[in-house]
Amino acid sequence: MDGPTDLASLKIGLLSSHTEVAQAAEAMLRRRYTWADADEAETLVALGGDGFMLQTLHSMLDAGRPRPVFGMNRGTVGFLMNDWRLDRLAERISGAKAVRVAPLQMQATTVNGEVHRSAAINEVSLLRETRQTAKIEILVNGRVALPELACDGVLVATPAGSTAYNLSARGPILPLQAKMLALTPISPFRPRRWSGAILPDDTAVCFRILEAENRPVSAVADQVEVREVSRVEVTLDRERSLTLLFDPEHALDERIAMEQFAT
């Protein structure tokens, strides 16, 4: 067998989650290929599941240095990942389809007046913290769209995130090319028949928590939680788009489209 294939000259770096399966895959890849240092690489290969992919993308947003990421599934679901294969990795990356996704920007204000900002690639969700039903006023572009939603919660999802928590909450699946956001209630009590809305992605959505001290609500941007919020504003951050790389036969836009036929 020949020596390790050089991916370092292509400025491709390798990251993996801390799970045993992902670490074993990393060891095999490092024996097969030489890699650029991850901090200096211009393209990254990520080994793990969807959670690790989100962690990787958030780390790049925080560092202000987004780079294309080619994920390989060494986790559970792997919706954002390609199939795991050891061979012909350079060819797969060079022939991959690039999919650009823009994150949501959440600004959450707590009942104490603290302001927290965080990005969300999948969704921003509001959830009741106690057995008390949450009561939430929803504003769209500064106008009151729903004076009071009594519910377990509510979320705003991107097309990339529309097949995640949003789908579990019976929200719509959005094609990746659709310039739309899904606004989806979670177990709505009143109005009971309101099933949510599909909004243009340049819409500013604001949630105002009614009776915030007696009916506490938390806001979650992907994996970042802010508790006891009084107001949450959500917009799409077009200036910080991210690039995911997919094998042409497993492109994210096709996966999202086919989820509409899942049984």
CA distance 107 to 117: 5
Amino acid identity at 247: D
50 is in an annotated binding site: yes
CA distance 149 to 195: 11
CB-neighbour burial class of residue 152 (10 A; exposed 0-12, middle 13-18, buried 19+): middle
221 is in an annotated binding site: no
62 is in an annotated binding site: no
Pick from 198, 145, 147: nearest CA to 171? 198
What φ, ψ does residue 93 adopt, rounded to 5°? Answer: -70, -40
Instruction: Kindly state the helix (H) or strand (E) to which residue 121 belongs, with its residue range.
Output: none
| Annotated catalytic residue within 2, 37, 50, 202 | 50
Alpha-carbon torsion (109, 114, 115, 116), positive or negative: negative
163 is in an annotated binding site: yes
Report the phi/psi class of residue 11: left, alpha or beta, with left for phi > 0 and alpha for psi in -120 to 50. left
141 is in an annotated binding site: no
164 is in an annotated binding site: yes
* Residue 261 to residues 43, 165, 174, 179, 254, Cα–Cα distance (Å): 33, 18, 13, 21, 12
Terminal Cα-to-Cα distance of the chain (whole angstroms): 45
253 is in an annotated binding site: no
123 is in an annotated binding site: yes
50 is catalytic: yes
122 is in an annotated binding site: yes
165 is in an annotated binding site: yes
Instruction: Kindly state the helix (H) or strand (E) to which residue 134 belongs, with its residue range.
Output: strand 134-140
203 is in an annotated binding site: no
Q: Give the residue numbers marked as catalytic.
A: 50
Q: Which residues are annotated as a binding site for NAD(+)?
A: 50-51, 122-123, 152, 160, 163-168
